[in-house]
Amino acid sequence: MQDVSKSAVKAFLLELQDRICQALEAVDGEAKFEQDEWQREQGGGGRSRVLRHGAVIEQGGVNFSHVFGDQMPASATAHRPELAGRRFEAMGVSLVIHPNNPYVPTSHANVRFFIAEKDGEPPVWWFGGGFDLTPFYPFDDDCLHWHDTAKAICQPFGDEVYAEHKAWCDKYFFLPHRNETRGVGGLFFDDLNQWGFEKSFAYMQAVGNGYLTAYLPIVEKRHPLPFTEREREFQLYRRGRYVEFNLVYDRGTLFGLQSGGRTESILMSMPPLARWEYCYQPAEDSAEARLSQHYLKPRDW
């Protein structure tokens, strides 16, 4: 049995947070991340970093957390009831970037590690994570680059990995009450332990490291594009769907709230501005209509 190194996972996650923040500050060119360190009363804590009012990024958060306790939250044992009552540790980096320009997609990434322990029994651990892209005015080139990057990340770990984790992403980031995906997908995985610790950890690292490769070229290409108030209003309307998913379906949000995490850090994924419009219908054959008709459904890239 391979040794499980919690310290190695934590060291990687802290370094990943640093590197992603530095890269996003560089592409924004104006704003800087502000850091809040916090402690959780039941055990653990984290450091939350938020960038606001930037030249490129309206608001973005890159959070690291490491929490532990004597009882796993209900969201973590809903599909693993045999783990109820075990001590747990959970650590991860989670980020959401909401750009100013409607032609730059919102992006999300998360990599995490859970371990549940009980005296006299072997630990139960797993990795999870992924990244997904939520455009408002999609470009096929951007979607292809995003998914090609995901394929390249997965390939060393098995020919079937991209297809499986891409399909898992499409299924997970789906709003049943709207009958649409949150965006154009990417990768999603959870409960990963069947490869053993070293390979599973290596895959989690590859996904975390691959986020910048996938996202930064899109930001650099699209943020100079001009836009009007019409595109801005549509961006805010579509951000409302992002809020709906995160508050109703997202397991990470539920886990954070149920485990007594820092509310401000958990909800940093919310956009700074969003709007809802009763019975909105885009104009026929418009760019706004094409988003729903051609992109917000599972698709092979």
Show binding-site residues: 94, 98, 108, 110-112, 147, 177, 260-262
Q: Is 242 exposed, middle or buried (0-12, 13-18, 19+ CB in 10 A)?
A: buried
CA nearest neighbour of 267 among 8, 48, 17, 23: 48
Task: Report the binding-site residues for substrate.
Answer: 94, 110-112, 260-262
User: CB atoms < 10 A from the CB of 279, how many?
Assistant: 4
Alpha helices (runs of H) in the chain, residue ranges in sequence order: 6-28, 74-77, 140-154, 161-172, 197-222, 229-248, 251-258, 263-266, 287-290
In the DSSP assignment, the letter for residue 5 is -
Rounded distance between C-alpha atoms, residue 116 and residue 123, angstroms:
6
Residues marked as catalytic: 108
User: For residue 49, what are the contacts with CB-CB under 8 A and spacing of at least 6?
Assistant: 17, 21, 33, 34, 35, 36, 61, 62, 63
- How many residues are given for the chain? 301
Contact (Cβ atoms closer than 8 angstroms) between residue 86 and residue 118: yes
CA dihedral 141, 142, 145, 149 (to 10 degrees): -170
Q: Which two tokens stand for residue 81?
A: 């009831």
CB 257 within 8 A of CB 39: no
At 83, give phi and psi (nearest 5°).
Answer: -90, -5
Cβ(60)–Cβ(31) below 8 Å? no
User: In the block, which residue shows the tokens 């997202």?
Assistant: 250
1: helix, coil or strand? coil
